[in-house]
């Protein structure tokens, strides 16, 4: 085999292996679990390993989508930082504890320390509004340079209402029902 052909084959293999799947895996098969653990263990040398799960909007707010695949990647990454692997059964425990929902870590900005306290999130999927199964808004946001505050909020949504290829909108509303932040989440670009 020529060196040029070998180089082309290596490039094709790299692109196929590194490319995200054709949508978020909301229920992981054994092969997907193994792949997530492998991606997590190898991610210790990559700063932007989780780019596919990060979303930002035009107002400077951002979020991280924790799919079941991403959860296992993070667990394997944390273990790899300690030169360990996940213990037998640990992946099953992680998926069982969080497997029935997609979790979103949102970083939102406001003008007062308690601005996010009564925020309510909704996922919009087509003409359906999906209510969260879990909401934790930061009660006292962190003050940033320039006088703005940043609150870290955690939202969980049931996966029974989702497919791994949907384009969703996360809408966060204040206590009066006004939209304060909006994100487009394309699950087809995530694993």
Domain residues for the domain of 131 are 21-45+53-189
Question: What phi and psi values does residue 63 have, to the nearest 5 degrees?
Answer: -150, 160
11 found inside a domain: no
- Interval 82-124: pLDDT, tens: 999 999 899 999 999 877 899 999 999 999 999 999 999 999 9
> What is the reported pLDDT for 22?
63
Q: Rounded to whole angstroms, what are the CA distances from 52 to 64, 127, 182?
A: 9, 25, 18
Q: pTM for this one?
A: 0.82
Mean pLDDT of 156-166: 90
9 found inside a domain: no
Quote the number of domains for the chain.
1
7 found inside a domain: no
Give the chain's length: 191
Give the C-alpha separation, 30 to 83, whole Å. 23
């Amino acid at each position: 085999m020529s060196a040029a052909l070998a180089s082309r084959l290596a490039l094709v293999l790299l692109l196929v292996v590194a490319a995200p799947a054709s949508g978020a895996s909301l229920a992981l098969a054994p092969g997907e679990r193994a792949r997530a653990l492998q991606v997590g263990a190898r991610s210790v040398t990559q700063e932007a390993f989780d780019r596919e799960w990060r979303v930002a909007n035009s107002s400077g707010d951002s979020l991280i989508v924790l799919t079941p695949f991403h959860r296992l990647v993070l667990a394997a990454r944390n273990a790899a930082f300690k030169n360990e692997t996940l213990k037998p059964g640990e992946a099953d425990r992680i998926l069982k504890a969080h497997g029935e929902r997609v979790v979103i870590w949102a970083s939102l900005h406001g003008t007062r320390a308690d601005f996010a306290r009564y925020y309510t999130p909704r996922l919009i999927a087509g003409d359906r509004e999906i209510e969260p199964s879990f909401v934790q808004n930061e009660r006292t946001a962190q003050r940033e340079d320039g006088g703005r505050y940043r609150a870290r909020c955690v939202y969980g949504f049931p996966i029974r209402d989702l497919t791994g290829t949907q384009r969703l909108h996360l809408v966060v509303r204040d206590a009066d029902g006004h939209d304060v932040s909006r994100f487009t989440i394309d699950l087809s670009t995530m694993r």
